[in-house]
Amino acid sequence: MTPAEVGAAVDAAWHTVLERLEQLVRIETPSLDAAASASIARVLTEWFEPLASEVRAVVTEAGTHLVIEVPGSTDAAPLLLLGHSDTVWDHGALAGDVPWSVDGDVVRGPGVFDMKSGLVIMLAALEILRDRPRRAVRILVNCDEEVGSPTSQELVRTALDGVAGVIGFESPHPDGAFKVGRAGSTRLRLEVEGRAAHAALDPENGVSAIDELVDQLLVVRGIVAEASATTPVLCNVGTVSGGARANVVPDAASAEIGLRFVDAGSERHVLDALARLDPIRSGAVVRTVVLTSRPAWQAGAGDEELLEEVGRAASALGQSASGRPAAGAGDTNLVGSLGVATIDGFGPRGGGAHAVTEHLLLSSLRERIELLTALLAR
């Protein structure tokens, strides 16, 4: 398709694009709400079925994931388009702090930026190319990305079978640059068991879980500092809990810790060390429980080649396409870390993800639809 043809096709589809974006945003889909997930999955299935050879629903306790096969008319291996249908917003956000609104170029609403707009981009481009030569795609829409993809990580990896590369539809960098490489992210809970006793009458018979936890957190700090001497590791102790009364030696305490890694080496070093923590006090028990983990994805040659392919499509449209690593983690960590050619950030520009200021720019949404259309038509 010529740039003029792509632009005209997006013009013709624009009203439908906005209608569908609003419809998806108005289906509130907090993570782990299986009923809400089933509702949006039904709508997406209805929209994608006319284009697909298969729409497969994978129902889990977290909700409904979708795997969509859209055949192509060329011999090129398919691309995997990766997105999610869940949001960080609870029910009621639409009627409360984050109502749907359109003000010039700015659209607001819960999940409009992260990342229901990405799903609309996929659909619009494929509909424009319905009767035209195009590359085959596989689409995976999972329903638990915002909580670490606990039920879909293996599904994401399985979806890689036979694909030439992966495009993630999370938001780009603020300037519109793609995300090529992402920090690894692990969330874990440090659990300590002690032994209760009267804090005044027989404290020597107790083992304070809180004291043990405090000392273990200092050990964690030392492990992170050692790894950070060569590559920065971010560590945040997000919650601490334990104990019940001031006159009782506490028998349980825990802390939830968030870790971010730039490279796989520091990631392995820190996580291995935390898995081997030894009690400092006799009688204490220390456990490290990994809650969610996405490995560090460092950009490689395949990622750069895919970015160059996107760049050629962008150049033909008068757009630009650059890429650089991102601090945040997402499902593209799961595939990029395996060496599969991957880029992320194919969603529109905007801002305020996870905040009441969440919004996207319609001009950028249009550009991304044009770019995906041009890329799949190459």
Catalytic residue among 28, 33, 127, 145: 145
Would you give the DSSP letter of residue 205?
G
Would you give the DSSP letter of residue 76?
S
Q: What's the CA angle centered on 56, arms 52 and 62, to 5 degrees?
A: 135
Q: Are 108 and 100 in contact (CB under 8 A)?
A: yes
How far is CA 313 from each of CA 71, 317, 362, rounded to the nearest angstrom? 21, 7, 20
Active site residue 154: no
| Beta strand spans in the chain (E) | 54-60, 63-70, 79-84, 101-103, 106-108, 137-142, 165-168, 178-182, 184-193, 197-198, 233-242, 248-249, 252-261, 285-294, 323-326, 342-343, 350-351, 359-361
Helix 3-26 and helix 34-48, axial crossing angle in degrees, nearest 10: 150
| Dist CA 252 CA 254 (whole Å) | 7
Catalytic residue among 28, 33, 86, 144: 86
Active site residue 28: no
| The pairing of beta strand 248-249 with beta strand 106-108 | unpaired
User: For tokens 């291995």, what's the residue?
Assistant: 272
| Best CA proximity match to 169, nearest among 147, 144, 140 | 140
Q: Give the catalytic positions in this structure.
A: 86, 145
